[in-house]
A and B are shown apart, each in its own frame.
Chain A
Amino acid sequence: MNCIRFTLPVNDPSEVEILRDHGADELYCGYLDADWRRKYGGDAVISRRQGAANLSDPGALRETAAEARRSGMTAHLTLNGRVTGGETAQLVRIAEMWAAFGGGGIILQDPALPALLAHVKPMLITVSLLAVTVNKCGVAFWKRLGADRIVLPRFLSLAEMKAVTSSAPDMVFEAMVMGDLCPFADGFCRSVHAETHAPAGPEAVPKAVRETCNTSGQAYHLCMEYGLPAPDPCAACRLKDLGESGVAVGKVGGRGLPLEVRLRWLDHLRLARSEACGTDLPRRYRETFGHECRCYYPQKGIGG
């Protein structure tokens, strides 16, 4: 049986036990509280997800960390937004709060943060795929800065992953295995990722007024303008290959998506990991999700 572990997004403390019972091995979450929202809005500044994808107050953060510890799972907090000088102090305070609550790790992309967070060790430091670590020198760079884990970029082929991971056998490597395939190299994408809201019809009576610099309700993802998003991809058939490429943790996307979506994804991945389905996974995918599957790591890799 494949030994790859699965890490899943959690949107609320009440989901932790359910995810554990469904077989999640680790969790990751986001955080966006009122103070941050007041200063920076609700778009992709603290991390690359908005709105419901984030826990919204210290109480929820504390509960999530506590539930994760009770369930025997490591929970990581995502602080992988683009960092400038003005927000580092607040990011450090959030990380310290997470550590005090018993959180297991931080996911980041900015190279200044590991040193600023050295005092919250032994919390794990994971380098986000937004840092675009594509070679062994990058692995060495982040290891020197204090990172424990690296999430490999989505666009690396399995052969490229193996070349990267073999340079550091003591490092833990993650790769995406379901959902959230950005058609661009998202670590280099400068497109606005704004909060999305469905328009209310003329008959709707607003219960509140909210001030914002983007009243359109649109996300303005660049890939949408190019008509690029496609059905969520899946790496269920590739779990064994990923393991042989040095990937220890399969990351499931979908921060902000309903729990039932994430649970169905997890169920399918666990089936694949158990190898009970043989080569029947595409059929099982079609029956479960109602459309053809799309491979996260097609055979032909990136030029190199």
Chain B
Amino acid sequence: MDMDDKKRLVLGHRSCPRGLREMPAQLERIARNVPVEALIPPVTPFLEGTLETVLSLLGEFEDASVTVNDWGTLDRVSQWKKGRRARLVLGALLNGQDSDPMIRVFCAPQPDKCVWEGGNAVLLRWAPPPEELKRHWAEPSAFHLAGMLRDMGVDAVETGLQALELTEAAGLDVRRLDWGVMSVKPCRGDCAGCGGGEITRAGCRVFFDRNLLKWEYAAGADGKGEALLPAAPQGPGSMR
């Protein structure tokens, strides 16, 4: 079941520390009856004070949602949330997924190849991935943590795009993103030099959003591996 997609003013960024640093000033200017969504990146030590300021300000809002992306901040916000009318979301970085679009290539037939393995020549022949592996690829890690997350007051989990159709969510509300997480480049405090170029991977577009590397399905066929791929699964509307 998808999370109720209430219109919220979204602040911050899932991986960029600047998003958190700028948040107190932004929150100060917003009317307290506006529903807000605070995206919190992994909080390194010198951002902990800023996090506390943000939580203090969010406590003044009638309808605040906080999306966290490291276990420590989840724990902290879980405590902050007690007794408050606020929403806690497990962010996409914290919800491990095998979301690499290359997995779709592995699910489709490939040519034989002779390789060296342990000093011997071995012919690699394609066979479909084992069912256990496909099930592993299809299930985000948060799903098996459902009990623990509910005890911590988590209301929903973010899931990004993934190569295989999502498994049943074990009673968790799911916020589906329309892009997938590929990776995060550690912040070096150099905003001008942040990010990087765009590449194509398994026919999908891989690009930087600040230091967060995302992927999404390429618009139209680009001829690079599309013929190998099963059709992209069609999901319900989702949050960017």
Interface string of A13-30 (1 = CB under 8 A from B): 000000000000000000
Taking a contact as CB atoms under 8 Å apart, the answer to whether A213 and B107 are in contact is yes
- With a cutoff of 8 Å between Cβ atoms, the chain B residues found around residue A213 in the complex are 106-107, 126-129, 133
Q: How far is the CB of A227 from chain B (nearest CB, A)?
A: 10
- With a cutoff of 8 Å between Cβ atoms, the chain B residues found around residue A141 in the complex are 71-72, 74-75
Which residue of the partner chain, among A131, A190, A211, A216, contacts B113 with CB atoms under 8 Å?
A: A216
Taking a contact as CB atoms under 8 Å apart, the answer to whether A204 and B183 are in contact is no
Taking a contact as CB atoms under 8 Å apart, the answer to whether B114 and A40 are in contact is no
Given A84-B141, A135-B45, A189-B184, A112–B129 Cβ distance below 8 Å? Answer: no
Asked whether any CB of chain A lies closer than 8 Å to the CB of B136, the reply is: yes
Asked whether any CB of chain B lies closer than 8 Å to the CB of A244, the reply is: no
Q: Which of A263-295 contact B (CB under 8 A)?
A: none
Which residue of the partner chain, among A88, A209, A217, contacts B144 with CB atoms under 8 Å?
A: A88
Which A-chain residue is minimally distant from B119 (CB atoms)? A207
Q: Which of A209-230 contact B (CB under 8 A)?
A: 209-217, 220, 222-223, 225-226
Asked whether any CB of chain B lies closer than 8 Å to the CB of A72, the reply is: no
Taking a contact as CB atoms under 8 Å apart, the answer to whether A40 and B130 are in contact is yes
- With a cutoff of 8 Å between Cβ atoms, the chain A residues found around residue B141 in the complex are 82-84, 110
Asked whether any CB of chain A lies closer than 8 Å to the CB of B148, the reply is: yes
- With a cutoff of 8 Å between Cβ atoms, the chain A residues found around residue B183 in the complex are 184-185, 188-191, 222-223
Taking a contact as CB atoms under 8 Å apart, the answer to whether A304 and B44 are in contact is yes
Q: Which of A238-252 contact B (CB under 8 A)?
A: none
- Tell me which of A92-100, A172-180, A193-201 binds B: A193-201
Q: How far is the CA of A198 from the CA of B121 in the complex (A)?
A: 10
Taking a contact as CB atoms under 8 Å apart, the answer to whether B130 and A41 are in contact is yes
Interface residue tally on A, bucketed by range: 35 or more
Asked whether any CB of chain A lies closer than 8 Å to the CB of B164, the reply is: no
Which residue of the partner chain, among B98, B107, B124, contacts A212 with CB atoms under 8 Å?
A: B124
- With a cutoff of 8 Å between Cβ atoms, the chain A residues found around residue B187 in the complex are 155, 302-303
- With a cutoff of 8 Å between Cβ atoms, the chain A residues found around residue B140 in the complex are 84
- With a cutoff of 8 Å between Cβ atoms, the chain A residues found around residue B93 in the complex are 188
Taking a contact as CB atoms under 8 Å apart, the answer to whether A160 and B46 are in contact is yes
Which residue of the partner chain, among A41, A185, A197, A220, contacts B185 with CB atoms under 8 Å?
A: A185
Which A-chain residue is minimally distant from B108 (CB atoms)? A213
Q: How far is the CB of A129 from chain B (nearest CB, A)?
A: 12
- With a cutoff of 8 Å between Cβ atoms, the chain A residues found around residue B18 in the complex are 303
Taking a contact as CB atoms under 8 Å apart, the answer to whether B113 and A137 are in contact is no
Given A155-B186, A212-B127, A225–B201 Cβ distance below 8 Å? Answer: yes
Q: How far is the CA of A140 from the CA of B143 in the complex (A)?
A: 23
Interface string of A140-159 (1 = CB under 8 A from B): 11100000000000111001
Q: How far is the CA of A184 from the CA of B182 in the complex (A)?
A: 10
Taking a contact as CB atoms under 8 Å apart, the answer to whether A200 and B115 are in contact is yes
Taking a contact as CB atoms under 8 Å apart, the answer to whether B196 and A226 are in contact is yes
Q: How far is the CA of A200 from the CA of B206 in the complex (A)?
A: 31
Which residue of the partner chain, among B70, B114, B180, contacts A134 with CB atoms under 8 Å?
A: B70
Asked whether any CB of chain B lies closer than 8 Å to the CB of A136, the reply is: yes
- With a cutoff of 8 Å between Cβ atoms, the chain B residues found around residue A222 in the complex are 100, 182-183, 201, 206, 213
Asked whether any CB of chain A lies closer than 8 Å to the CB of B189, the reply is: yes
Q: How far is the CB of B88 from chain A (nearest CB, A)?
A: 14
Which B-chain residue is minimally distant from A211 (CB atoms)? B127
Which B-chain residue is minimally distant from A52 (CB atoms)? B118
Q: A-side interface residues toward B, CB under 8 Å?
A: 38-41, 45, 82-88, 110-112, 131-142, 154-156, 159-160, 163-164, 183-185, 188-192, 197-200, 204-217, 220, 222-223, 225-226, 300, 302-304
Q: B-side interface residues toward A, CB under 8 Å?
A: 15, 17-18, 42-48, 70-76, 93, 96-100, 102-103, 106-107, 110-117, 120-130, 132-133, 135-136, 139-141, 143-145, 148, 170, 180-189, 196-197, 199, 201, 206, 213
**In the complex, the 8 A-B pairs of residues with the closest C-beta atoms, listed nearest first:** A138-B72, A304-B46, A137-B72, A303-B189, A163-B45, A155-B186, A197-B115, A211-B127
